A and B are shown apart, each in its own frame.
Chain A
Amino acid sequence: MSLTNEIIKTGLLEKFGDLLTEWGEPYGMLSFTAPGDQNLKVMNFLSEEFRFDFLTDLTAVHYPNRKGEELAVVYHLHNLVDNIRVRFRIYVPVEKPDVYTATGVFASANWMERETFDFYGVNFVGHPDLKRILNVDEMDYFPLRKEFPLEDQTRIDKDDDMFGR
Chain B
Amino acid sequence: MTDHNNIRLPEGSIEKETTTLNLGPTHPATHGVFQNILELDGERVIRTESTVGYIHRAFEKIAERRPYYQITTLTDRLNYCSSPINNMGWHLTCEKLLHVKTPKRVDYLRVIIMELSRISDHLICNSIVGVDTGAYTGFLYVMQYREMIYEIYEEVCGSRLTTNMGRIGGFERNFTNVAFQKLEKFLIEYPKVLREFENLFTRNRIFIERTQGVGGISAERALSYGFTGPNLRATGVDYDVRVHSPYSSYEDLDFIIPVGTTGDNYDRYQVRNAEMWESLKIIEQAYRKVQEFKGAEAEVFHADVPAYYLPEKEDVYTKMEALIYHFKIVMGETDIPAGEVYNSVEGGNGELGFYLISDGGRSPYRLHFRRPCFVYYQAYPELIHGSMLSDAIVTLSSLNLIAGEMDA
Contact residues of A with B, CB < 8 Å? 26-27, 29, 31, 53-57, 59, 61-62, 74, 76, 80, 83, 85, 87, 106-108, 110-112, 115, 119, 132-136, 143-144, 148, 150-151, 162-165
* A133 and B53 contacting across the interface, CB-CB below 8 Å: yes
Min CB gap A72→B, angstroms: 9
- B225, B353, B376: the one within 8 Å of A57 (CB): B353
* B362 and A61 contacting across the interface, CB-CB below 8 Å: no
Complex-state Cα separation, A148 to B58, whole angstroms: 13
Complex-state Cα separation, A154 to B341, whole angstroms: 34
Min CB gap B208→A, angstroms: 29
Q: Is B361 an interface residue, CB under 8 A from the partner?
A: yes
* B378 and A57 contacting across the interface, CB-CB below 8 Å: no
Min CB gap B71→A, angstroms: 13
Listed by A's residue number, 16 A-B pairs whose Cβ atoms lie within 8 Å are A26-B339, A27-B97, A31-B340, A53-B223, A56-B226, A59-B355, A62-B366, A76-B353, A83-B245, A134-B56, A134-B408, A144-B61, A150-B61, A150-B62, A162-B332, A165-B365
Q: Is B405 an interface residue, CB under 8 A from the partner?
A: no
Complex-state Cα separation, A150 to B368, whole angstroms: 17
Q: Is B374 an interface residue, CB under 8 A from the partner?
A: yes
- B342, B351, B362: the one within 8 Å of A87 (CB): B342
Q: Known contacts A57-B355, A80-B237, A134-B53: does B64 contact A150 (CB below 8 Å)?
A: yes
Complex-state Cα separation, A164 to B332, whole angstroms: 13
Complex-state Cα separation, A112 to B372, whole angstroms: 11
Min CB gap B129→A, angstroms: 24
- A80, A111, A136, A165: the one within 8 Å of B239 (CB): A80
Min CB gap B112→A, angstroms: 26
User: Can you name the residue of chain B whose Cβ is closest to the Cβ of A162?
Assistant: B362
- B contact residues around A136 at 8 Å (CB): 53
- B contact residues around A108 at 8 Å (CB): 224-226, 375-376, 378
Q: Known contacts A111-B375, A135-B53, A143-B61: does B223 contact A54 (CB below 8 Å)?
A: yes
- A contact residues around B408 at 8 Å (CB): 134
Q: Is B262 an interface residue, CB under 8 A from the partner?
A: no
- A contact residues around B46 at 8 Å (CB): none
**Which residues, 1 to 39 on B, are CB-close (under 8 Å) to A?**
none
- A contact residues around B97 at 8 Å (CB): 27
- B contact residues around A144 at 8 Å (CB): 60-61
- A26, A150, A151: the one within 8 Å of B341 (CB): A26
Complex-state Cα separation, A150 to B377, whole angstroms: 30
* B375 and A112 contacting across the interface, CB-CB below 8 Å: yes
* B363 and A165 contacting across the interface, CB-CB below 8 Å: yes
- B226, B379, B407: the one within 8 Å of A54 (CB): B226
* A134 and B52 contacting across the interface, CB-CB below 8 Å: yes
Min CB gap B393→A, angstroms: 22
- A contact residues around B340 at 8 Å (CB): 26-27, 31, 87
Q: Is B96 an interface residue, CB under 8 A from the partner?
A: yes
**Which residues, 367 to 403 on B, are CB-close (under 8 Å) to A?**
368, 370, 374-379
Q: Is B289 an interface residue, CB under 8 A from the partner?
A: no
- B contact residues around A59 at 8 Å (CB): 355, 368
- B contact residues around A62 at 8 Å (CB): 366
- B contact residues around A115 at 8 Å (CB): 374
Q: Known contacts A26-B341, A106-B224, A165-B65: does B378 contact A111 (CB below 8 Å)?
A: yes
Complex-state Cα separation, A110 to B377, whole angstroms: 11
* B52 and A133 contacting across the interface, CB-CB below 8 Å: yes
Q: Is B319 an interface residue, CB under 8 A from the partner?
A: no
- Chain B 40-76 interface mask (CB, 8 Å, partner A; 1/0): 0000000000001100101011101100000000000
* A107 and B60 contacting across the interface, CB-CB below 8 Å: no
Interchain residue pairs A-B with the least CB separation, the first 9? A108-B226, A134-B53, A134-B56, A107-B224, A59-B368, A57-B370, A111-B378, A150-B65, A61-B366
Q: Is B244 an interface residue, CB under 8 A from the partner?
A: yes
* B370 and A107 contacting across the interface, CB-CB below 8 Å: no
* A143 and B374 contacting across the interface, CB-CB below 8 Å: no
Q: Is B330 an interface residue, CB under 8 A from the partner?
A: no
Complex-state Cα separation, A145 to B96, whole angstroms: 26
Q: Is B157 an interface residue, CB under 8 A from the partner?
A: no
Min CB gap A13→B, angstroms: 21
Complex-state Cα separation, A85 to B370, whole angstroms: 15
Complex-state Cα separation, A151 to B62, whole angstroms: 10
Q: Is B313 an interface residue, CB under 8 A from the partner?
A: no
Complex-state Cα separation, A25 to B248, whole angstroms: 22
* A107 and B225 contacting across the interface, CB-CB below 8 Å: yes
- A contact residues around B341 at 8 Å (CB): 26-27
- B contact residues around A133 at 8 Å (CB): 52-53
Complex-state Cα separation, A80 to B257, whole angstroms: 15
